[in-house]
Amino acid sequence: MGKEGEVSSSSFCFTAPPNSEEALAVYEKYQILHIKGQGRGRGGAEKVLEGLKAVDREVIVKTFCVENTENKGTKLDPETFLNNTDNVRNKGAFYVSCIVQGAKKLVNEFAGIADFEQPAFISDIWKGFRSTDPLWVFWGYREKQGKLVGRPEHTDSVTHDGTWHKQVAGKKTWFVRPMEEHDEWGGNAPKVVVAEKRGNKNKRQKGARAPQTAPSLCIECEEGDILMINTRLWWHRTELPFEGKERASVSIARDFYCDSTRMGQKERREEREEGDQIFVNRDGIYTSVAVEKDCVILRESEMPDCELPRSEEPNAYIGELDSGEMALLAAHAIPAGEWLSVAPSDDEGEEEEEED
Q: Are residue 240 and residue 351 in the same domain, yes or no?
A: no
Cα distance between residue 62 and residue 66, in whole Å = 12
Cα distance between residue 308 and residue 311, in whole Å = 9
3-state DSSP assignment of residue 20: helix
Does an H or E element contain 109, and which? helix 104-114
Q: Is residue 19 part of a domain?
A: yes
Q: Are residue 166 and residue 230 in the same domain, yes or no?
A: yes
Residue 113 has what pLDDT?
A: 92
Q: Is residue 291 part of a domain?
A: no
- Domain containing residue 29: CATH number: 2.60.120
Cα distance between residue 345 and residue 351, in whole Å = 10
What is the identity of the amino acid at 352? E
Q: What is the pLDDT of residues 146-193, one digit of tens each?
A: 788 888 888 887 889 999 999 999 999 999 999 988 889 988 899 997
DSSP lists the bridge partners of residue 172 as 221
What is the identity of the amino acid at 254? R
Q: What is the pLDDT of residues 260-278, one digit of tens each?
A: 998 644 444 444 434 445 5
Return the CA Rg of the chain: 21
Q: Are residue 65 and residue 167 in the same domain, yes or no?
A: yes
What is the identity of the amino acid at 37? G
* DSSP letter assigned to residue 47: H
Q: Are residue 77 and residue 45 in the same domain, yes or no?
A: yes
Q: Are residue 116 and residue 255 in the same domain, yes or no?
A: yes
Q: Are residue 308 and residue 257 in the same domain, yes or no?
A: no
pTM over 0.85: no
Low-confidence residues of the chain: pLDDT under 50: 1-2, 195-212, 264-276, 348-356
Cα distance between residue 214 and residue 188, in whole Å = 16
The residue segments making up the domain with residue 60 are 6-276
Q: Which of 216, 241, 276 is the last residue of a domain?
A: 276
* Among 219, 214, 169, CA closest to 195: 214
Cα distance between residue 105 and residue 114, in whole Å = 14
**How many domains does the chain divide into?**
2
